[in-house]
């Protein structure tokens, strides 16, 4: 794999640094919003064979199997799996299984950290094959010191896993295009299946692969009817292999939708069939209830995610609350959550493109096409909540800019000085934000603590700082606080004594119905108060509260402490009324 020992040594050093970053971060973060539902779902499916778990309606099962790899060897009481509600199962496994919560968290996150380390080899290999080993090491450097990569690689969620699998898929498809053997085609198909089995975003590989294949024929001047048919046949085989992997992940499930899906989603589907004219006309309800289909849980989940995407989620952007995504929100998130030096390097790489690109333009498009399609889709999607949705573009960006290492500068001293400044700035940013990687924003935001003025929720706040709030209260001798928390974990599970302040009504610990609650169940007394107040920045901006001005009064005060940049603590002796 390595031709030059020097680059091998540099790679190993970067790998050690990366290991330290992710292990240190994973140990400190409280369960994030989605982790409460995701953790233990794989164990549940393996124990019961039941795919009616609510988590399956959110995402396909591969990441669930992965987070349960080390849980398979731990004995749990069967009562933990009595419910089909992932929010109940996850909470019981993390906090009420008889094992320390930090151990369960670490064991469920560990497989993702291992994947992150393995992915660094792919980053090096792909970049080295395109631009040489010097660029390969530089691409790994960008990967290792990316706050977004480090932050998400330590969570037991789908976002980082789909990032790695999409990248690996494109690598294998590139290998297939250059050496169209059955083995390379099979590897590509398996990778496509893993992507589809991880997150609905994996379906974007269909247009990406097809477009890459067509352009490959065009730029190699092989665009003939015969070659196009050969290409189409390869796509068919790749996608068939991919779907076979999906079927394996779902245990070759063959049922009716009604018997496969959780009751809540069956009822919601029936309601849609009665309300939407064309569905009523074709008697979709009868088909849904009575006709068995392959992997109905997969297609049911796809339908559920599509429904939520069409409906959209509210976002907070630049001081405004909007009902759903606006096109510039993902752009703003990318510009503020990408290290400034990397943004500069992207611009320089584009300016110098003709001088440093590969002779084959197709070798550049293999990186550009995934970036354009993935980012473009989410720019116009109704459901975007943060950088996690466009995280898969980063490995391709790292490779695209890594070719700068091959630039033949007229003045080598100036180029070396520039690259030295870049490397220092990029690495220092990752060091000073540690271990609060999920909250990272660059200098354009005016500092890490100002990110909440631009965006909140999963863009910076996923409930990850609850454990740090407990540590702060213990350190300062605060026995109880008035708390408004954005997260799925009940603060009581961290032994935090609190007086409830308005929090999103759909959080599992706030209302009896949790994620299925309605606005009528919200408990919101928005009067100004005094005392020790701890509030998540998402709630401070009132994003998911029914009363969109509930905590506006609190903006008149300065926090005495910003915990991980997502929980602000106030000590108020007199409040404006």
Give, for all 577 residues of the chain, the pLDDT tens digit. Answer: 778 889 999 999 999 999 999 999 998 899 999 999 999 999 999 999 999 999 999 999 999 999 999 999 899 998 899 888 999 999 999 999 999 999 999 999 999 999 999 999 999 999 999 999 999 999 999 999 999 999 999 999 999 999 999 999 999 999 999 999 999 999 999 999 999 999 999 999 999 999 999 999 999 888 999 999 999 999 999 999 999 999 999 999 999 999 999 988 898 888 877 777 666 656 778 888 899 999 999 999 998 888 888 777 899 999 999 988 898 999 999 999 999 999 999 999 999 988 887 778 899 999 999 999 999 999 888 777 789 999 999 999 999 999 999 988 888 889 899 999 999 999 999 999 999 999 999 999 988 889 999 999 999 999 999 999 999 999 999 999 999 999 999 999 999 999 999 999 999 999 888 999 989 999 899 999 999 999 999 999 999 999 999 999 999 999 999 999 999 999 998 644 3
- Distance (Å, rounded) from C-alpha 528 to C-alpha 431? 38
Can you read off the two tokens belonging to residue 122? 């792919």
**Best CA proximity match to 389, nearest among 452, 465, 455, 481:** 455
**Are 215 and 175 contacting, i.e. CB atoms less than 8 angstroms apart?**
no
In order, the DSSP letters of 483-499 are EE--SSS-GGGGT--EE
In which region does residue 105 sit, left (phi positive, over 0), alpha (psi from -120 to 50) or beta (all else)? Answer: alpha
**Are 219 and 362 contacting, i.e. CB atoms less than 8 angstroms apart?**
yes
Number of Cβ within 10 Å of residue 525's Cβ equals 10
**Best CA proximity match to 142, nearest among 507, 396, 426, 412:** 426
Asked whether the bond before 122 is cis by omega within 30 degrees of 0, the reply is no
- Distance (Å, rounded) from C-alpha 308 to C-alpha 310? 5
In order, the DSSP letters of 438-455 are GG---GGGTSGGGGGGT-
The predicted pLDDT at position 235 comes to 97
The predicted pLDDT at position 277 comes to 66
Coil, strand or helix: which one is 316? strand
Task: Tell the residue number behind the tokens 């031709």, with chain if given.
Answer: 3
In order, the DSSP letters of 209-221 are HHHHHHHHHHHTT
Can you read off the two tokens belonging to residue 168? 């690996």
The predicted pLDDT at position 576 comes to 44
- Distance (Å, rounded) from C-alpha 74 to C-alpha 189? 33
- Distance (Å, rounded) from C-alpha 510 to C-alpha 484? 10
The predicted pLDDT at position 574 comes to 62
Length in residues, the chain: 577
Residues pairing with 561 in the sheet: 569
Give the gyration radius of the chain's Cα atoms.
Answer: 24
- Distance (Å, rounded) from C-alpha 47 to C-alpha 382? 36
> Going by DSSP bridges, is the β-strand pair 567-572/561-563 parallel, antiparallel, or unpaired?
antiparallel
CA distances from 73 to 43, 45, 104 (A): 10, 15, 12
Phi and psi torsions of 456, nearest 5°: -135, -150
Angle, helices 41-48 vs 86-95, to 10°: value is: 110
Coil, strand or helix: which one is 481? strand
Q: Going along 138-278, which residue ranges are E strands?
A: 254-255
The predicted pLDDT at position 396 comes to 98
The predicted pLDDT at position 286 comes to 84
Phi and psi torsions of 522, nearest 5°: -65, 140
In order, the DSSP letters of 265-294 are HHHHHHHHHHHSHHHHHTTHHHHHHH--EE
Angle, helices 101-131 vs 393-402, to 10°: value is: 40
Contacting residues for 173 by C-beta, under 8 A, at least 6 apart: 188, 209, 212, 238
- Rounded to two decimals, the pTM is 0.95
CA distances from 337 to 30, 107, 144, 266 (A): 21, 28, 16, 39
The predicted pLDDT at position 449 comes to 86
Q: Going along 396-452, which residue ranges are E strands?
A: none
């Amino acid at each position: 794999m390595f031709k030059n020992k020097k680059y091998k040594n540099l790679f190993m050093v970067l790998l050690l640094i990366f290991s330290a970053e992710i292990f240190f971060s994973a140990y400190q973060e409280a369960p994030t919003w989605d982790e409460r539902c995701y953790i233990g779902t794989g164990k549940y499916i393996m124990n019961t064979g039941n795919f009616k778990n609510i988590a399956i309606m959110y995402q396909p099962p591969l990441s669930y199997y992965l987070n349960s790899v080390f849980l398979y060897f731990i004995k749990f009481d069967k009562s933990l799996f009595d419910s089909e509600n992932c929010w109940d199962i996850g909470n019981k496994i993390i906090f009420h299984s008889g094992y320390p919560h930090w151990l369960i968290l670490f064991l469920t996150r560990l497989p993702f950290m291992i994947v992150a380390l393995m992915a660094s080899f792919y980053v090096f290999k792909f970049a080295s094959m395109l631009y040489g080993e010097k660029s390969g090491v530089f691409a790994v450097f960008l990967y290792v010191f990316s706050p977004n990569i480090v932050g998400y690689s330590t969570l037991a969620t789908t976002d980082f896993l789909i990032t790695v699998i999409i990248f690996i898929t494109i690598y294998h498809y590139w290998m297939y295009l250059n050496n169209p053997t059955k083995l390379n085609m099979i590897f590509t198909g398996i990778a496509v299946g893993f992507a589809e089995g991880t997150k609905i975003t994996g379906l974007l590989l269909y247009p990406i692969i097809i477009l890459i294949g067509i352009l490959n024929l065009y730029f190699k001047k092989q665009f003939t009817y015969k070659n196009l048919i050969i290409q189409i046949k390869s796509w068919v085989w790749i996608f068939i292999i991919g779907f076979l992997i999906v079927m394996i992940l779902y245990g070759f499930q063959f049922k009716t939708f009604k018997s496969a899906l959780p009751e809540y989603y069956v009822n919601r589907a029936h309601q849609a069939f009665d309300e939407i004219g064309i569905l009523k006309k074709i008697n979709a309800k009868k088909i849904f209830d009575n006709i068995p289909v392959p992997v109905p849980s997969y297609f049911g989940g796809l339908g559920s995610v599509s429904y939520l995407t069409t409906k959209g989620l509210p976002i907070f952007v630049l001081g405004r609350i909007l009902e759903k995504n606006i096109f510039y929100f993902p752009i703003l998130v990318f510009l503020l959550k990408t290290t400034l030096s990397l943004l500069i390097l992207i611009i320089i790489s584009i300016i110098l493109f003709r001088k440093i690109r590969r002779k084959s333009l197709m070798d550049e498009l293999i990186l550009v096409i995934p970036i354009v399609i993935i980012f473009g889709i989410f720019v116009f999607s109704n459901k975007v909540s943060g950088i996690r949705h466009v995280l898969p573009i980063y490995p391709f960006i790292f490779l695209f800019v890594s070719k700068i290492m091959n630039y033949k500068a007229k003045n080598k001293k100036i180029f070396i000085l520039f690259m030295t400044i870049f490397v220092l700035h990029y690495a220092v940013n990752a060091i000073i934000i540690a271990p609060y990687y999920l909250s990272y924003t660059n200098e354009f935001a005016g500092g890490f603590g100002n990110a909440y003025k631009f965006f909140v929720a999963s863009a910076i706040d996923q409930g990850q700082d609850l454990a740090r709030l407990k540590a702060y209260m213990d350190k300062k001798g605060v026995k109880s606080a008035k708390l408004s928390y954005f997260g799925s974990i009940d603060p009581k599970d961290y032994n935090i004594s609190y007086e409830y302040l308005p929090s999103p009504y759909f959080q599992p610990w706030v209302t009896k119905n949790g994620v299925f609650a309605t606005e009528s169940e919200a408990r919101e007394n928005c009067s100004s108060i005094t005392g020790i107040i701890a509030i998540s920045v998402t709630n401070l901006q009132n994003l998911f509260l029914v009363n969109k001005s509930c905590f506006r009064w609190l903006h008149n005060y300065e926090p005495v402490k910003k915990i991980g940049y997502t929980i602000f603590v106030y000590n108020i002796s007199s409040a404006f009324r």
